[in-house]
Amino acid sequence: MAFPSHNSDSAFPQPQSPNTLNSPTSPASATFADESDLFVQDEPHVGELHLVPCALDVYLDLPNKAEDRYELVEGILFHRPNMANTQHAIIKEFLVTKFRAVKLTGNNRVNIYPEMKVKVSSGKSRSPSVRVPDVVVGPYTSSESTGNASPRSQKIIFHEDNIPLMVIEITSPSNRLTDMNAKSEEYCRTGIATYVIIDRETDRVIVRKLIRNTRSRLDYDSEVVYTGDTLVDCFLFRERNLTAEKIFRPQQTAEEAAQSPTRREQRAKERERREKEAAQATAVSERRAKEEAQATAVSERRAKEAAQAKAEAAQATAVSERRAKEKERRAKEKERRAKEAAQAKAEAAQAKAEAAQARVDELERQFGKGKGGSSARGGKHTNSGGKPR
């Protein structure tokens, strides 16, 4: 299969023809007469096919090593520098490892892909575009369903009917402007909800999000920039507690983690000790609170008992006073009655004496009358003393 001729309306510069690219010492065929030639020839040198027009089918059938070094932009091959053994590769591996360690369940499950092809919308041009982000986060698919797909369909997993949830690009001096501008527009038009740029030049993590999913938009609705030790508030970054500092210093982070099972064990023991001390402190606090509550209850009970005793004493005093007064009243009453009885007895005696005297007087009077009548009849009678009887 031959490479198609370059579209003269493309915004990209006119490439050299394959004949001028392939010198006699080049391992690649000068004519690419059919598709099999691509596989029987040795691997093209890096950059050999840069700016060569290419159909999507041909791009997907490039040799495995070569295809990882090119992106297809509006039908033109663009060379991707080999980033192995650089900070770029270290950061990518760090992110993939961290993200794959996140434990997600149900509808939150995702698949993490390093450098997976994504077919994107490149604007007005009808020529195909395929980008290869450093990290792709896609909807979860089982390994069985992926394995059942045809070899051709596995070459490009993400397209307009299977849009990634998030893509991540790690900038390098040669591609920084493309990552910041052209790819941002393409990912936005494609409908990729989140685009994260790991900007090595400024040590910033830029998170762009598509709030209104309109593929005609030229760029994302929101952009948040994270630096230093600020937590990157974005899916997967948040779950792994990642900051810009950790992302741009992954070796230091790895070294700290590798210092050990022993250090982790010490931290675990320290955490366990603190939790135990906290539990003991809580138990002591609860016990003291319980004791204080009990003491308060005892104090309140004693106060109630004292108040009750005081009330009972007051009541007993009142009863005693009442009884004393009653006793005094009865004594006075008895005394009064005794006086009245004595007086009545005296009066009765006096009355009796007076009655006796009156009787005596009456008798004397009667006797006097009888003596006077006798004298009138026979003269006075005298006793021997000459006194009247």
pLDDT in tens, 246-257: 999 876 655 555
> Is residue 244 exposed (0-12), middle (13-18) or buried (19+ Cβ within 10 Å)?
buried
Q: What is the pLDDT, as a whole number, of residue 209?
A: 94
Q: What are the sequence ranges of the domains in the chain?
A: 1-80, 82-258, 266-314
Compute the C-alpha angle 73/77/82, nearest 5°.
105
Give the residue among 354, 362, 355 at the shortest CA–CA distance from 370.
Answer: 362
pTM of the complete model beyond 0.75: no
- Where do runs of H (alpha helix) occur along 164-215? 176-177, 183-190
Both tokens assigned to 351: 């009355």
Q: Are strands 166-170 and 194-199 parallel, antiparallel or unpaired?
A: parallel
Q: What is the pLDDT, as a whole number, of residue 152?
A: 53
Q: What is the pLDDT, as a whole number, of residue 377?
A: 55
Q: What is the pLDDT, as a whole number, of residue 282?
A: 92
Q: What is the pLDDT, as a whole number, of residue 36?
A: 34
DSSP 168: E
| Fold adopted by 82-258 | tt1808, chain A (3.90.1570)
Amino acid at 88: H
Q: What is the pLDDT, as a whole number, of residue 121?
A: 85
Question: Are 195 and 167 a contacting pair, CB within 8 Å?
Answer: yes
User: What are the residue ranges in the chain where pLDDT is below 50?
Assistant: 1-46, 382, 389
CA atoms of 51 and 37, how far apart (whole Å):
20
Both tokens assigned to 242: 């990642």
Q: How many C-beta atoms surround the C-beta of residue 126 within 10 A? A: 9
CA atoms of 273 and 260, how far apart (whole Å):
19
Give the residue among 47, 48, 71 at the shortest CA–CA distance from 59.
Answer: 71
Q: What is the pLDDT, as a whole number, of residue 15?
A: 37
Q: What is the pLDDT, as a whole number, of residue 347?
A: 85
**102 to 96, 140, 181, 327, 330: CA distances (angstroms):** 10, 13, 30, 96, 100
CA atoms of 240 and 221, how far apart (whole Å):
25
Q: What is the pLDDT, as a whole number, of residue 261?
A: 61
pLDDT tens, 126-140?
888 999 999 999 998
Q: What is the pLDDT, as a whole number, of residue 307?
A: 93
Question: Are 222 and 209 a contacting pair, CB within 8 Å?
Answer: yes
Q: What is the pLDDT, as a whole number, of residue 35?
A: 35
